């Protein structure tokens, strides 16, 4: 009888295996495995496991006013996956049902089920965040069934009948149910591993697409970047069509049915508007749900995911198949992951844009500090000549007007070195008119540098600083040398004076901004802000021997880095 009973019980384990597979495909069960289940999920799963236990009772084999059953599979599976509370609760459901069926083992089996659920929950504590391995489920199942046999012997009466029943069902139930529990857990783990593998593949694909689209999305969400992105997704992800929208228009469409989905002629569908308004993913499994206005359109299923920037919906990503009911769980994972990556890219682009705007505003503020400073000093020079040399004063006013007219159009932009030097020469002509023979200017400019770019109003403040702080304190004045040379990638422009110099060990204006060196400090900060820490100004000075200010900037023929406009 024992061999026959064992064979029958093992055959009936196919029911448990089928239930394990079906259960592993549900979203609520995946949340349980990933430890993200809600209280509602826990209650629902407890009931399901309890019902599996009840089904094990009905699938059992009657023996001597008792039932050789597989009820323990559902009860212990609940504890192994959900913990003690779920295991005990499933045991109460399955055991309570068994108690209501009556028989001399009714109470014993009900108590055993509760204890088995508790035992499985204790095992669960040692594997937090990980699936229970099949061999441990096998061992736990054997321990649980042996515990049930002991409870029957301790509580069922008459004892002789209980002993006879245990001798009959112990081996078949211990072997079959422990194997059934191990198979149950193995099938669930295998199904979950397969889903994780698909998810990993989709995540890898999404990361690959995000990497390829990064150069385009860094420009922001526009028609050109959207079209390039759509073509990359179409070539990589295996969809039949891809579309990208903003909040009002279709920006790009690529793939099947492109002829009647051109951005210029296509309006946003109801499905897209829903995704934009709710900020949630929407799925269409047939043509009607997609809502295309063209009756002959072959697109038959779609998934629409919102694109966000700082929690604000700015558009949608739409993925299409030409067959109905084609959107599966892998598509949902892929679309959600890809939309999240795109949203992150677009948000970083916006942050970068805001940072550049702030930098530009700061550059304009620096220019605003320099221009009044230059105007004040120049007007003082002209004022000193109005009575003694009115013709010269008039000539200087004309030159000043030309300088400011030029500055009005060029300030805040990158200009050529030739253009910058033209401003410097105009300024020096004004200063030489004031100082006469006390100011000698020499230029040593490397040929061919004039067409490279430099931020406007960069050299003039340094020359002004050399005259005011270096030469004016000397009774006999002095000289200034403008020197420019270059290497393969860097241009260095030096303003050399033989003025009073300074003690940089006591005070270096570049290290401790302040005082009257506004022009010097502003030029350094502008170069540093536009080109980076490798560029800016360098000071070399000795008291009584003069000062060398060296301006270092990259050698560029075009605005590879945005200017300060």
Q: Rounded distance, CA 508 to CA 539, Å?
A: 8
Q: DSSP letter for 466, please.
A: I
Question: 354-554, which class in CATH?
Answer: alpha beta
**Residue bearing tokens 């236990």:** 53
Query: Which residue, 114, 129, 43, is CA-closest to 75?
Result: 114
Q: Tokens in use for 114?
A: 């509760």
Query: Which residue, 502, 370, 486, 470, is CA-closest to 510?
Result: 502
User: In the prediction, which pLDDT does 563 show?
Assistant: 39
User: In the prediction, which pLDDT does 409 show?
Assistant: 61
Query: Which residue, 492, 434, 498, is CA-closest to 459?
Result: 492
Per-residue exposure over 524-535, b if at least 16 CB sit within 10 Å of its own CB, e if not: bbbbebbbeeeb
Q: Rounded distance, CA 185 to CA 20, Å?
A: 8
Q: Using CA of residue 290, residue 294, residue 299, residue 300, what is the dihedral sign?
A: positive
Q: Are 156 and 162 in contact (CB under 8 A)?
A: yes
Query: Which residue, 115, 181, 123, is CA-closest to 152?
Result: 115
Output the CA torsion 83→329→47→87 (10° steps): -10
Q: Report pTM.
A: 0.47
- Domain chopping of the chain, boundaries: 2-197, 218-327, 354-554
Q: Rounded distance, CA 393 to CA 380, Å?
A: 11
User: In the prediction, which pLDDT does 410 show?
Assistant: 61
Q: How far is CA 436 from the centre of its chain?
A: 63
User: In the prediction, which pLDDT does 526 show?
Assistant: 80
Peptide bond into 158 cis (omega under 30): yes
User: In the prediction, which pLDDT does 36 show?
Assistant: 63
Q: How far apart are the first and last CA of the chain?
A: 94
Query: Which residue, 396, 389, 454, 387, is CA-closest to 428?
Result: 396
Strands (E), 263-340: 282-284, 301-309, 312-321
User: In the prediction, which pLDDT does 564 show?
Assistant: 37
Strand, coil or helix: 250: strand
User: In the prediction, which pLDDT does 220 show?
Assistant: 84
Which pairs with CB-CB distance under 8 Å and at least 24 residues apart come from 264-271? 267/293, 271/302, 271/304
User: In the prediction, which pLDDT does 483 show?
Assistant: 95
Low-confidence ranges of the chain (pLDDT < 50): 1, 561-565
Q: Rounded distance, CA 404 to CA 61, Å?
A: 104
- The CATH architecture that domain 2-197 belongs to is Orthogonal Bundle (1.10)
Strand, coil or helix: 240: coil
DSSP string, 324-390: TT---HHHHHHHHHHHHHHHHHHHHHHHHHHHHHHHHHHHHHHHHHHHHHHHHHHHHHHHHHTTT-H
Q: Rounded distance, CA 481 to CA 493, Å?
A: 10
Domain 218-327 coded CATH 3.30.450.40: yes
Query: Which residue, 354, 380, 289, is CA-closest to 327?
Result: 289
Strand, coil or helix: 251: strand
Q: Tokens in use for 5?
A: 């009973």
Q: Rounded distance, CA 79 to CA 496, Å?
A: 84
Element (H, E) at 1: none
User: In the prediction, which pLDDT does 18 show?
Assistant: 72
User: In the prediction, which pLDDT does 56 show?
Assistant: 87
User: In the prediction, which pLDDT does 561 show?
Assistant: 43
Element (H, E) at 244: strand 241-245
**Residue bearing tokens 């004076």:** 497
User: In the prediction, which pLDDT does 562 show?
Assistant: 41
Q: Tokens in use for 487?
A: 């290497």
Q: Rounded distance, CA 285 to CA 393, Å?
A: 83
Peptide bond into 430 cis (omega under 30): no
């Amino acid at each position: 009888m024992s061999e026959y009973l064992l064979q029958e019980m093992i055959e009936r384990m196919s029911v448990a295996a089928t239930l394990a597979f079906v259960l592993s495909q549900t979203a609520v069960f995946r949340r349980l495995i990933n430890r993200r289940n809600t209280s509602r999920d826990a209650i629902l799963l407890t009931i399901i496991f309890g019902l599996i236990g009840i089904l094990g009772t009905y699938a059992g084999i009657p023996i001597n006013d008792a039932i050789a059953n597989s009820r323990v599979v559902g009860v212990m599976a609940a504890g192994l996956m959900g913990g003690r509370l779920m295991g005990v609760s499933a045991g109460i459901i399955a055991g309570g049902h068994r108690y209501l069926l009556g028989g001399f083992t009714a109470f014993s089996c009900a108590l055993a089920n509760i204890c088995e659920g508790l035992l499985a929950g204790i095992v669960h504590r040692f594997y937090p965040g990980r699936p229970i391995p099949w061999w441990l489920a096998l061992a736990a199942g054997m321990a649980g069934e042996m515990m049930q046999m002991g409870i029957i012997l301790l509580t069922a009466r008459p004892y002789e009948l209980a002993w006879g029943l245990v001798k009959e069902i112990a081996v078949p139930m211990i072997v079959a149910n422990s194997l059934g529990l191990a198979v149950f857990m193995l099938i669930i783990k295998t199904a979950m591993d397969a889903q994780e593998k698909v998810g990993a593949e989709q995540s890898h694909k999404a990361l690959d697409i995000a990497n390829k689209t990064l150069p385009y999305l860094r420009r922001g969400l526009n028609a050109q970047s959207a079209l390039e992105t759509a073509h990359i997704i179409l070539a990589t992800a295996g969809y039949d069509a891809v579309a990208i929208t903003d909040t009002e228009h279709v920006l790009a469409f690529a793939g099947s049915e492109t002829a009647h989905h051109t951005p210029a002629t296509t309006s946003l569908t109801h499905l897209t508007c829903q995704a934009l308004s709710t900020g949630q993913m929407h799925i269409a499994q047939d043509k009607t749900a997609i809502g295309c206005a063209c009756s002959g359109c072959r697109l038959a299923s779609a998934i629409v995911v919102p694109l966000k920037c700082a929690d604000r919906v700015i558009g949608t990503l739409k993925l299409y198949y030409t067959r109905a009911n084609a959107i599966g769980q892998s598509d949902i994972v892929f679309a959600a992951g890809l939309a999240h990556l795109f949203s992150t890219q677009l948000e970083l682009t916006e942050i970068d844009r805001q940072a550049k705007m702030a930098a530009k505003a700061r550059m304009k503020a620096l220019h605003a500090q320099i221009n009044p400073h230059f105007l004040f000093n120049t007007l003082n020079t002209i004022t000193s000549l109005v009575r003694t040399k009115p013709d010269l004063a008039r000539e200087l006013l004309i030159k000043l007007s030309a300088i400011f007219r030029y500055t009005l159009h060029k300030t805040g932009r990158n200009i050529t070195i030739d253009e910058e030097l033209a401003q410097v020469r105009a300024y020096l002509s004004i200063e030489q008119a004031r100082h006469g023979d006390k100011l000698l200017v020499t230029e040593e400019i490397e040929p061919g540098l004039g067409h490279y770019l430099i931020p406007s109003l960069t050299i003039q403040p340094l020359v002004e600083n050399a005259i005011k702080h270096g030469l004016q304190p000397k009774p006999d004045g002095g000289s200034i040398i403008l020197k420019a040379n270059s290497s393969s990638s860097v241009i260095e422009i030096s303003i050399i004076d033989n003025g009073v110099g300074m003690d940089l060990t006591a005070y270096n204006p570049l290290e401790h901004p302040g005082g009257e060196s506004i022009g010097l400090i502003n030029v350094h900060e502008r170069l540093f802000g536009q080109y980076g820490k490798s560029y800016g100004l360098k000071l070399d000075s000795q008291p009584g021997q003069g000062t060398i200010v060296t301006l270092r900037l990259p050698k560029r023929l075009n605005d590879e880095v945005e200017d300060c406009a």
